[in-house]
Structure 1
């Protein structure tokens, strides 16, 4: 079997459900994409996929797929958004739509309504879609669309429609201004006090309470905060400033190296860029705006801001630093980082390395991406809430 045939077969596999143990995402196909893009041997990719299915880094195996239970159509597809049910039915729906209209048309029709929910499933639905687009896997893209509908949690971009605050002339300066307000308004205390209050029963799926993380994010996005929705003027430009956003989230990652949550902002931003490329040109800046809003919602919920002085020091260190891409030591360093990624059971690490190596090459060797790529994360411990049975 050729390498490309193996990858196609793995990404088209329908043996397992998209989640396990309630809301934990099946990451197997994400790992396949990352390992393939990094040049892993086909047998190593197959071995990883098989081993992950038996036991994920969380200690649970993958689960059998749920059969379709309701017919989903163009008339009722919105009725089940975010209900965390009918994943297989959504797959059938988007598969059928693609057969009739073609994948490009389906993406352009449904992405505008799905994008506000990009943070759902802690960004993994978006990652599934965007990384499927990256590797041009038709079935993975269909699964990604279905997963975005299944796990939809809106970041409410409609709240920002009438707001066009200046807030900095680039992504880093915009974030610095928000950090200033975070400290000045003591917003960490506001978030903590809000999350201590009893949650309203409506609007957030009860399964997310087992997560803790996803529940906090959903609650913060449900109530919002003005700083999250004061979009910078540069975000209204026709072409999104992807490179600035990548630099920003990588800077945040280096401010807390190995942080599991911030890592997802890097890998989901890669997904969002692929999605923007597949979307209609007129909504591409909306993709970046949704990312900005959702990113801030995640950072607020987890209180991930560090002192401005630390961010500024890191920015001073890295903003103009560029490696010699022809130097032997650069190649050796990347070989070591990629080699370590190949040995990881925690699939988030090869994903991190793939995205940052790609950025290092795309930007002519910006040092920040090589520096961050070697800062691996660890599988987090599950909270005590996982002792409760899952809610489907």
Structure 2
């Protein structure tokens, strides 16, 4: 797989990532613990040991007592590792698939299971064995389990990878792909190319009704009892076989990928450009951001999978991104389609592949990432880190690099106060969106 190359991470990064187990994978009922994700981005920026410690102190001790701050900016106090409140069977190869979506109770047991499997098989073989089945549920916990897993693979962290796989198991959430649903096709060489599929979905007259239906259904007692948060409860409605959202996914969303045995690089490039452009066009909409960081995570895992599992993982990701765009009201997607069509023209005209960064551009990316490390919002350095890594993979075109640069500049644009520490661009947008929803 030529699109991916190993990052240059420091010798001390793994010691920090091991600390991630000092806290539970979630806090505040359903919010995901991001502490290790940002350590990776900070390390890539060349952060000092003091800065890594600053992030731990910032993230673990800044409780959200100030209700004027975005919930994305500071977590509540992280929680200690949990033990099972009830007796629970051990997770083994005989039953691991039977306990998926176990409402988080089995997380420590799944983590123990994957610890053993990684030690026994090695990380790569463990991913090849268990990741394909888990990838069907990557919609769980707003993409965070798949992010945790893929980012761990990025830097070869066995500790973090076992947690990520355990989180994928216990937060497992498919979207209309189970046996109770109508026949679906994740990917096909004959499907419309992804940009055309996105445009077709966005132009569908049913989209406003689907957005409203998902929102209304998520507020009914059945979904409120799930206690997964507004976004996740709306996303889960797409797995209900009695509702039009699941039928829409299975009718409209099939990812075009080349057949087994053919190279995926061109398709992967297009998906990175889609994830980048929808984030930029939405003005860094908070949940669409997770489409970017999760695609990066999936791509980090792909080299460890067989060709069929690679395509299925990309198909599941594309399906969740489409559902996310719909439930978030398709913010800025008309502009996204326009920019994506322009990218297609530019790419065809330039005919560049394997675009190589010169020293000046390499320095710009490093400086841009370094400019984010004081942000109190970990999503900012994380997003820039992804764009920097895609720019460095050297299998994509100059046109794609220009898309990554444009998005990185928008992400690092300071807010009205001009203070980096006050939260960067997208979290202000998220705060306004949250306030607007709360008024309704």
TM-score when scaled to structure 2?
A: 0.76
2:374 to 343, 352, 362: 343
Residue of structure 1 in register with 2:96 after alignment: 77
Alignment length (residue pairs): 375
Say which of 77, 81, 105 aligns to 1:61: 77
Q: Which residue pairs with 1:99 in the alignment?
A: 119
Alignment of 1:217 with 2:235, yes or no, is yes
2:385 to 344, 349, 354: 354
Secondary structure of 2:257's counterpart equals helix
Point out where structure 2 has 5 or more consecutive residues left out of the alignment. 1-8, 64-72, 412-425, 436-440
Say which of 129, 141, 161 aligns to 2:185.
161
Q: For residue 368 of structure 1, what is the aligned residue in structure 2?
A: 403
* Distance in 1 (alpha carbons) for counterparts of 2:213 and 2:185: 28
The 8 Å contact of residues 189 and 258 in structure 2, kept in 1 or not, is answered as no
Shift of 1:207: 1.9
Distance 1:119 1:284 in 2: 17
| Distance change (3 Å), C-alpha of 1:163 and 1:113 | closer
Question: Which deviates further from its counterpart, 291-300 or 135-144?
Answer: 291-300
Q: Is the 8 A contact 1:129 1:145 kept in 2?
A: yes
**Secondary structure of the corresponding residue to residue 191 of structure 1:** helix
Provide the rounded CA distance (Å) in 2 between the counterparts of 1:156 and 1:236.
23
**Could you report, residue by residue, the CA deviation over 1:107-136 in whole angstroms, capped at 9, with x for unpaired residues?**
222112111111111000000000000000
1:179 maps to which of 202, 225, 241 = 202
- Structure 2 counterpart of 1:313: 338
2:396 aligned with 1:378: no
Deviation at 1:6, TM superposition (A): 2.6
Most deviating of 349-358 and 192-201 = 192-201
Contact 1:204 1:218 in 2 (8 A): no
1:236 Cα shift? 5.3
* 8 Å contact from structure 1 (residues 72, 93) kept in 2: yes
Is 1:141 equivalent to 2:161 in the alignment?
yes
Classify the secondary structure of the residue corresponding to 1:277: helix
Deviation at 1:336, TM superposition (A): 4.7
Whether 1:11 and 2:29 are equivalent positions in the alignment is: no
Superposition TM-score, scaled by structure 1 size: 0.85
Q: Is the 8 A contact 1:166 1:231 kept in 2?
A: no
Question: Contact 1:266–1:352 (CA<8 Å) still a contact in 2?
Answer: yes
C-alpha separation in 2, matches of 1:163 and 1:63: 40
Q: Tell me how far 1:306 sits from its aligned partner.
A: 3.9
Secondary structure at the counterpart of residue 169 of structure 2: helix
CA separation of 1:277 and 1:179: change in aligned 2, threshold 3 A: same
Q: Take 1:307 and 1:198, find their aligned partners in 2: how far apart are those partners?
A: 23
